[in-house]
Amino acid sequence: GAGVSQTPSNKVTEKGKYVELRCDPISGHTALYWYRQSLGQGPEFLIYFQGTGAADDSGLPNDRFFAVRPEGSVSTLKIQRTERGDSAVYLCASSLLAGGHTGELFFGEGSRLTVL
Amino acid sequence: QQQVKQSPQSLIVQKGGISIINCAYENTAFDYFPWYQQFPGKGPALLIAIRPDVSEKKEGRFTISFNKSAKQFSLHIMDSQPGDSATYFCAASKGNDMRFGAGTRLTVKP
């Protein structure tokens, strides 16, 4: 597809379970971001990839959260031992950087995670 | 770590009116200020953006006004339409560090 694709669109899990959320960015976009959006709030930065490496993971709330991008394209956000407070929409965005400036971020529709 | 403060939280405007949303930022290193529009169930989409070397940018019915000394910027939607009803987020960034405001839910009444 032409846009950022995220799967699953909805995920309901039980407290303590492990969850993986997938993001397929726009082809050719080297930068990939994960954000978390709680109800009534703006997107909150989690992690940024430039290519395969995590250039900035300062937004990950704790060590239960981890993300990978092994081939510089698809990324997976992994959440261990989920807690009810992890319930949110997880947004992925990609961009084509130019000159080191943040370009337009193209967002996917998000993965809504509900932890019961 | 709210580095970008947005107001109001919600806004109701009559069709044809002007919608104004305000944002303030703290970090003077920010050098790119976009506005994103989000419809329910969708991801945010870029609406308009400005860099601090200009004080105003206009695209159609949408205008950003930027006040560097006050560290404030605003979005003006002229001739607001019911189709503009959405949540609007301001953001500020430096390099790859982009921070979002909490959002304004705009309702345009017919």
pLDDT less than 50: residues of chain B: none
Q: Is the pLDDT assigned to residue A98 strictly greater than 60?
A: no
Q: What token pair was written down for B55?
A: 């004080």
Report the alpha-carbon distance of residue B82 to residue A108 in Å, rounded.
Answer: 24
Percent of chain A residues topping a pLDDT of 70? 94
At B81 the pLDDT is 97
Q: Which of B32, B43, B89 sits opposite A110 (nearest CB)?
A: B43
pLDDT of residue B98: 86
**Is the pLDDT assigned to residue A79 strictly greater than 80?**
yes
> In chain A, what residues touch B99 (CB-CB under 8 Å)?
45
Closest CA to B44 of B33, B55, B54, B35: B35
DSSP calls for B26-54: --TT--BEEEEEE-TTS--EEEEEE-TT-
Locus of tokens 């560090």:
B97
Band (A102; pLDDT cuts 50, 70, 90) = low
Q: List CB contacts (< 8 A) between B94 and chain A.
A: 102
**Percent of chain B residues topping a pLDDT of 70:** 98
d(CA B3, CA B22): 14
Which of A60, A52, A55, A54 shows the shortest CA–CA distance to A79?
A60
- Cβ-Cβ contacts under 8 Å, A101 against chain B: 31-32, 95
Hey, how many other C-beta atoms are within 10 angstroms of the C-beta on B83? 9
Cα(B19)–Cα(B63) distance, integer angstroms: 10
pLDDT higher than 90, residue A21? yes
Touching B: A residues 54-113, CB under 8 Å: 55-56, 91, 93, 97, 100-102, 104-105, 107-110
B95: left (phi over 0), alpha (psi -120 to 50) or beta: left
Nearest to A56 among B6, B96, B103 (CB): B96
pLDDT of residue A101: 55
Report which of A82, A66, A75, A65 is spatially closest to residue A116, judged by C-alpha positions.
A82
The pLDDT assigned to A99 comes to 42
Residue contact B94–A107, C-beta within 8 A:
no
